[in-house]
Chain A
């Protein structure tokens, strides 16, 4: 290579007159031999010029005369200055465009300025149009960014700038109840694919000016809008700084779902467990912001990332908080138990039958032995067979159109299971165990956490079949060690159990009264630990009097 460059340089020295003149960017863009990143770089380098025709030509060459690119040429002002409006069809609201045209074509006549020049016309429009919403673009990159968001770019001949007029008006989905996180009691709104709708859902819930939202672009081609939302003064600045630096580090062509961002900023990419919580529910995001967490909105997806996450977040559901505390505590504890079941039950079944049949009650062992007569496989093969069949069924059930979905569950659960027992391929005990495990794993509210359990289950079965309950114990230990070693943005994943924080146990395995939850989570809300004054529980009148007196004394 070096040699080649050398030769080229020497050639140039020999023939100075033959040196090729560098073409301007917009001209080179007509050619087909520029690759996409080169073209993107060219867009950045292309400035706006004073000549309207030249500008329009450049836009056309950048966008390649795309069919939805709309260029409206018209004459503006009393002096009939050449002007053009550039926008993308389908992204804009036609009323807004009409409004703009009215302003530009009629209002400029009312200015009463005689002998308006091109420059003056632009300044008039600038005064008239520039508000918070409408911006000015000075180069091609800004201009296209605005246009691609649904803004209309107003170009006036003789000015090397453009006015971006806010006219967004694309179709988006209505707010519906999220299907992956259904609840019994709580708000029915869910996030949509539109980031503005999503952030407004949070704004509507937290009406504090301290709810700050920082926007940034991720993705060299998609330029996806990513918004970091937090409560200023409550969220840890260290976490925010780390999050910003991780987000800025992302260099990818496209972000179509928050999962991409999640993987880029994940602390433990090799772990099965998700380190970042995601939800479709604005109430959950708001609740987490109030605890000092940070939310990351991604345009184009209803899934909002919440971080730092801990293990118990994934096992909580809004119902825990919305129902009275005994019910909330009970269902949460039930969910934790069923999560453990969904990891360990099949493994324990295999290991007990293969290694420790003395652990079973005699009559149960006799029944299992009797029903297993004639089954050709060892217990572990049976379990793995059925688990695999179940996983396939589950996957099939998800992918199928909703109309055919139930058919799969009928065929799978009833016919396949029944026939497998009748044919003597599997024993009824295994079917019961697999079915129960499946139900237990469905009770985990978060899909990503449940899928971790599903994969771990096979490891536990394998270890259980290899060395019995010792293997189960080993799996349990390794799992615990792994979980305790995890950190989500520096926040211990197993808190408040991993590092034992007594004060936070009120909202981990169980949920305490709302009026008892005086403090925010210790490691998150450390900037202002106290959430509410203590002693707000119900009082008898006598107690109330007493406490009023005490309060008086305190003053």
Chain B
């Protein structure tokens, strides 16, 4: 009995221990052996054509938290260390970083992945391939197309923030929450999703380095935020072909149904100098394809609900007729945004709205016919836009504020 129990115990113990082996590899590292990368940036070297990789590595010895903000220049300097290497492949460049760094780089905490405009125009496939394969990089990092000097951006100090990657992802997050000047691409995951879906082109938020500010002006409160995040970069395949500005990005969001909160600035009816703001808080879009032989048309019906955010038109009390005219103005503004966005997309020959994908999903027969040369067909597609806009919840404040 005792022997049998012992055998059972031994067998189960060995079986339990075996469970360790298929579970993966040994990767024990002390925190002080890690160089924590907070931003990864990719560029291309014009002369040699090699890839250039920047990594902003947190420097724990230099004081992760900025100790003093003003006055002492040396102390307030960036807590990060920016490394820069080149290589024929991305991974070669990454390996080259290890040669000049005392600590192994740790990529899991990368919050922002930056692509320079130059590189994006050349094509970002090699980088996406690297990011997909590298197991440390997490797909929740925020991708950006950067207009401006990468090095300067990486060395910049962000007011209010400890490290740049977090600052950038926070900034883009709050912009996405409060306005529609960015697309839904808030992580590499969505980028990878879009790239693998047929009939849709990828886009990425645009990050502009404001080069003129900061260095010359001596401000006691520290350097201003050198980064503006707005608009999106439009790709065709893996190559950047152009940018949408804020208005066009809003149009993109209308058509893809991504409007979370959007502010429309409208002229007052009757007085050209006065403006009002309507904040859209609810919207929906329905895109239906109509295909006759080779002619493809889309019908887009957009509905939006908004509230008055501010209102300075003095002469009109808020009556039903007036609200109706405001509704029409709002609808027109929305239509304008969508049209401008469509125009730009046609010009760039990039179907970032995913119109092709709608055909792929709903008219698969037609997609088999059209899909192969969709990029040629897309610029010729007509989109009929129907907008139904309503201003609701103007509340009890019927008249503009009167100053007695």
Which residues of A are found within 8 Å of B111, using beta-carbon distances? 362
In the complex, what's the smallest C-beta–C-beta distance from B16 to chain A, in angstroms? Answer: 7
Bound-complex Cα distance A370 to B36 (A): 11
Which residues of B are found within 8 Å of A378, using beta-carbon distances? 30
Interface residues of B (CB under 8 A from A): 16, 19-20, 23-24, 26-32, 34, 36, 38, 58, 60-61, 63-65, 106, 108-109, 111, 136, 138, 162-163, 165-166
A357 lies within 8 A of B106 (CB): yes
Bound-complex Cα distance A328 to B165 (A): 46
Q: Which of A77-85, A128-136, A251-259, A466-474 contacts B (4 or more CB under 8 A)?
A: A466-474
Bound-complex Cα distance A366 to B65 (A): 9
Q: Which of A355, A375, A478 contacts B32 (CB under 8 A)?
A: A375
B58 lies within 8 A of A355 (CB): no
Bound-complex Cα distance A378 to B60 (A): 17
A367 lies within 8 A of B30 (CB): no
Interface residues of A (CB under 8 A from B): 353-355, 357-358, 362-363, 365-370, 372-373, 375, 378-379, 465, 467-468, 470, 474, 478
B163 lies within 8 A of A366 (CB): yes
Q: A470-B20, A470-B23 are in contact. Are A372 and B166 (CB under 8 A)?
A: no
Q: Which of A355, A365, A467, A470 contacts B36 (CB under 8 A)?
A: A365
A357 lies within 8 A of B138 (CB): no
Which residues of A are found within 8 Å of B109, using beta-carbon distances? 357-358, 362, 365
Which residues of A are found within 8 Å of B34, using beta-carbon distances? 357, 369
A369 lies within 8 A of B64 (CB): yes
Which residues of A are found within 8 Å of B60, using beta-carbon distances? 366, 369-370, 372-373
Mind listing 13 A-B residue pairs with CB under 8 Å?
A353-B31, A354-B30, A354-B31, A357-B31, A358-B109, A366-B58, A366-B162, A366-B163, A369-B36, A372-B31, A467-B20, A467-B23, A468-B28
B163 lies within 8 A of A362 (CB): yes
Which residues of A are found within 8 Å of B23, using beta-carbon distances? 467, 470
A358 lies within 8 A of B138 (CB): yes
In the complex, what's the smallest C-beta–C-beta distance from B76 to chain A, in angstroms? Answer: 17
**B103 closest partner in A (C-beta):** A369
Q: Which of A363, A368, A379: most chain B Cβ within 10 A? A: A363
**B60 closest partner in A (C-beta):** A370
In the complex, what's the smallest C-beta–C-beta distance from B246 to chain A, in angstroms? Answer: 29
Which residues of A are found within 8 Å of B16, using beta-carbon distances? 474, 478
B162 lies within 8 A of A363 (CB): yes
In the complex, what's the smallest C-beta–C-beta distance from A375 to chain B, in angstroms? Answer: 7
Q: A369-B36, A373-B60 are in contact. Are A355 and B27 (CB under 8 A)?
A: yes
Bound-complex Cα distance A353 to B63 (A): 20
In the complex, what's the smallest C-beta–C-beta distance from A356 to chain B, in angstroms? Answer: 9
**B106 closest partner in A (C-beta):** A357
A373 lies within 8 A of B28 (CB): no
Q: A358-B108, A367-B65 are in contact. List 7 more A-B contacts (CB 8 A).
A: A355-B29, A358-B109, A362-B111, A363-B162, A370-B63, A372-B60, A474-B19
In the complex, what's the smallest C-beta–C-beta distance from A459 to chain B, in angstroms? Answer: 14
A362 lies within 8 A of B38 (CB): yes
Which residues of A are found within 8 Å of B138, using beta-carbon distances? 358
In the complex, what's the smallest C-beta–C-beta distance from B106 to chain A, in angstroms? Answer: 7
Q: A357-B108, A362-B38, A474-B16 are in contact. Are A370 and B29 (CB under 8 A)?
A: no
**A363 closest partner in B (C-beta):** B162
Bound-complex Cα distance A478 to B20 (A): 14
A369 lies within 8 A of B32 (CB): yes
B162 lies within 8 A of A368 (CB): no
Which residues of B are found within 8 Å of A365, using beta-carbon distances? 31, 36, 109
Bound-complex Cα distance A478 to B111 (A): 37
In the complex, what's the smallest C-beta–C-beta distance from B96 to chain A, in angstroms? Answer: 23
Bound-complex Cα distance A43 to B58 (A): 84
Which residues of A are found within 8 Å of B24, using beta-carbon distances? 470
**B162 closest partner in A (C-beta):** A363
Bound-complex Cα distance A361 to B31 (A): 14
B27 lies within 8 A of A379 (CB): no
Which residues of A are found within 8 Å of B36, using beta-carbon distances? 357, 362, 365-366, 369
Bound-complex Cα distance A373 to B109 (A): 19
Bound-complex Cα distance A378 to B31 (A): 9
Which residues of B are found within 8 Å of A478, using beta-carbon distances? 16
In the complex, what's the smallest C-beta–C-beta distance from B165 to chain A, in angstroms? Answer: 8
Which residues of A are found within 8 Å of B30, using beta-carbon distances? 353-354, 378-379
B28 lies within 8 A of A369 (CB): no
Bound-complex Cα distance A362 to B20 (A): 29
Which residues of A are found within 8 Å of B19, using beta-carbon distances? 474
A355 lies within 8 A of B64 (CB): no
Which residues of A are found within 8 Å of B58, using beta-carbon distances? 366, 369
Which residues of A are found within 8 Å of B20, using beta-carbon distances? 467, 470, 474
Closest CB pairs A-B (n = 5) = A358-B108, A370-B60, A370-B64, A362-B109, A366-B64
In the complex, what's the smallest C-beta–C-beta distance from A218 to chain B, in angstroms? Answer: 28
B38 lies within 8 A of A367 (CB): no
B32 lies within 8 A of A373 (CB): yes
Bound-complex Cα distance A230 to B60 (A): 65
Bound-complex Cα distance A367 to B32 (A): 12
B64 lies within 8 A of A362 (CB): no
Which residues of A are found within 8 Å of B38, using beta-carbon distances? 362
**B109 closest partner in A (C-beta):** A362
A363 lies within 8 A of B28 (CB): no
Which residues of B are found within 8 Å of A474, using beta-carbon distances? 16, 19-20
Bound-complex Cα distance A478 to B17 (A): 11
B61 lies within 8 A of A373 (CB): yes
Q: A363-B162, A366-B64 are in contact. Are A372 and B106 (CB under 8 A)?
A: no
Bound-complex Cα distance A224 to B185 (A): 79
Bound-complex Cα distance A362 to B34 (A): 13
Bound-complex Cα distance A364 to B189 (A): 24
A368 lies within 8 A of B31 (CB): yes
A354 lies within 8 A of B28 (CB): yes
**B138 closest partner in A (C-beta):** A358
Bound-complex Cα distance A474 to B17 (A): 9
Bound-complex Cα distance A367 to B109 (A): 13
Bound-complex Cα distance A368 to B65 (A): 12
Bound-complex Cα distance A370 to B19 (A): 36
A363 lies within 8 A of B31 (CB): no
In the complex, what's the smallest C-beta–C-beta distance from A366 to chain B, in angstroms? Answer: 5
Q: A354-B28, A478-B16 are in contact. Are A367 and B64 (CB under 8 A)?
A: yes
A354 lies within 8 A of B29 (CB): yes
Which residues of A are found within 8 Å of B106, using beta-carbon distances? 357
Which residues of B are found within 8 Å of A467, using beta-carbon distances? 20, 23, 26
Which residues of B are found within 8 Å of A354, using beta-carbon distances? 28-31
Which residues of A are found within 8 Å of B29, using beta-carbon distances? 354-355, 357
Bound-complex Cα distance A165 to B111 (A): 88
Which residues of A are found within 8 Å of B64, using beta-carbon distances? 366-367, 369-370
Which residues of B are found within 8 Å of A468, using beta-carbon distances? 28
Which residues of B are found within 8 Å of A373, using beta-carbon distances? 32, 60-61
